[in-house]
């Protein structure tokens, strides 16, 4: 059996794994042989592990309980499932999603102890992701001894933004020391750009706003497939309302919480990253599906807040692009929540969006009428394929 590439993608409440046949001599990469996801990880959520074959058929579907409902436990369950398949073949490399690359990592690199130590220092900037990302690397090092581990960074896609969109209005010395706007979800945005040629070639040269809406949510303004501006900045806390993250916040709130409410830095971090967002607003859940099904008034209020934040940032990003030609939805919410998409797009009529309600309800790729001045689309993000391509390229180099 041919050599394989394994990808690991640890999010704030999920871990995705996929197995690819190694790339050919021309760098081409076939579709994943199988892909798996453990989602609902974290307190109060219903964790589950699902594995599908290349055609979407179910290979494994089971609840994760107890220790398995954590990131580490779910990763162990995924690797154990793979080991029991007895597929043969050699894992030639493992590719990893790393959320924060900081100042120094603008392209994929092989992991070593020095690199991992530098990335560990960034954990306070992405506490929901970076520790799980790096734990996944070390687990893979242990499971696949001597196999190259390739790290792919969410921040890299945004590194080419105009300098004016990378700076805070702080002393320049702080910017030079790394206090700057980085942007995240870059592997997802890179996946969407890669799909332009296949799904809607006209988008490759247009001004596009991509909305990656999920438990972690952000939006990105792109021109000719390159990042111009994005809603997340120094950390994945900024921007849109998210599952448990507050999103955009007046920095003085942090000073108030610490000085007037006596909260420690750790307590503030827990509040802003883990107890806010849809969970904090609703008091019900961080899961958009549960909120949509809930009869509790605060659940509807949380959804309205989420929609309003998307709309306000839509206007900001349209301004950064000096206009917009298309809007693309992706991510767990963006791909699956048809009613929420329609609600957002109906409020974007001022931009020139004419929604095709039937197409949206049916889950069509294009969501707008043929004559709509601004088109809207749904693309399924495939971060794993991007990680696999980067991993294959690093191996060839």
| Residues tagged active-site | 154
CA 82 to chain centre: 24
Nearest CA to 348 out of 382, 308, 388, 378 is that of 308
Cβ-proximal residues to 323 (8 Å cutoff; 6+ apart), any chain = 207
Determine which helix (DSSP H) or strand (DSSP E) holds 344, and give its type and residue range. Answer: helix 338-346
Contact 93, 150 (CB under 8 A): yes
Say if residues 211 and 192 touch (Cβ distance below 8 Å): no
Beta bridge partners of 61: 50
What gap in Å lies between CA 225 and CA 211, rounded to an integer? Answer: 14
The two structure tokens encoding residue 146: 């001597």
With beta carbons less than 8 A apart as the criterion, state whether 77 and 64 touch. yes
Choose among 60, 64, 61, 8: nearest CA to 41. Answer: 64
3-state secondary structure of 27: coil
Q: Give the CA-trace dihedral at 388, 390, 393, 395, to 10 degrees.
A: -70
Place of tokens 């009613």: 339
């Amino acid at each position: 059996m041919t050599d394989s590439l394994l990808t690991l993608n640890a999010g704030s409440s999920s871990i995705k794994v996929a197995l690819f046949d190694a790339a050919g001599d021309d760098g081409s990469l076939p579709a994943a042989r199988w892909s798996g996801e453990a989602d609902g990880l974290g307190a109060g959520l219903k964790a589950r592990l699902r594995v599908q074959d290349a055609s979407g058929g179910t290979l494994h579907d089971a609840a994760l309980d107890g220790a398995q409902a954590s990131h580490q436990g779910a990763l162990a369950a995924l690797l154990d499932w793979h080991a029991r398949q007895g597929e043969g073949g050699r894992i030639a490399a493992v590719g990893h999603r790393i959320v924060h690359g900081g100042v120094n990592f603008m392209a994929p690199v092989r992991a070593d102890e020095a690199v991992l130590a530098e990335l560990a220092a960034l954990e306070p900037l992405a506490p929901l992701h970076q520790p799980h990302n790096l734990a996944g690397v070390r687990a893979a090092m242990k499971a696949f001894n001597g196999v190259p581990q390739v790290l792919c960074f969410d921040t890299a896609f945004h590194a080419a933004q105009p300098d004016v969109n990378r700076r805070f209005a702080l002393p320049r010395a702080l910017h030079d020391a790394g206090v700057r706007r980085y942007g995240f979800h870059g592997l997802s945005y890179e996946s969407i750009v890669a799909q332009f040629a296949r799904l809607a070639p006209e988008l490759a040269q247009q001004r596009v706003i991509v909305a990656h809406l999920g438990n972690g949510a952000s939006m990105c303004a792109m021109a000719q497939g390159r990042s111009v501006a994005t809603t997340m900045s120094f950390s994945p806390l900024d921007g849109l309302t998210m599952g448990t993250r507050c999103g955009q916040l007046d920095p003085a709130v942090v000073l108030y919480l610490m000085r007037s409410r006596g909260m420690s830095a750790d307590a503030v971090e827990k509040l802003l990253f883990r107890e806010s967002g849809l969970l904090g607003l609703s008091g019900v859940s961080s899961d958009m599906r549960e909120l949509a099904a809930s009869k509790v008034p605060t659940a509807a209020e949380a959804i309205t807040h989420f929609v309003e934040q998307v709309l306000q940032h839509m206007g900001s990003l349209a301004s950064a692009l000096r206009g917009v030609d298309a809007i693309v939805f992706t991510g767990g919410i963006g791909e699956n929540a048809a009613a929420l998409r329609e609600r957002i797009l109906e409020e974007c009529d001022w931009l020139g969006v004419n929604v095709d309600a039937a197409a949206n309800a049916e889950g069509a790729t294009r969501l707008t009428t043929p004559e709509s001045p601004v088109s809207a689309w749904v693309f399924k993000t495939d971060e794993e394929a991007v990680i696999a391509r980067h991993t294959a390229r690093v191996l060839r180099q």
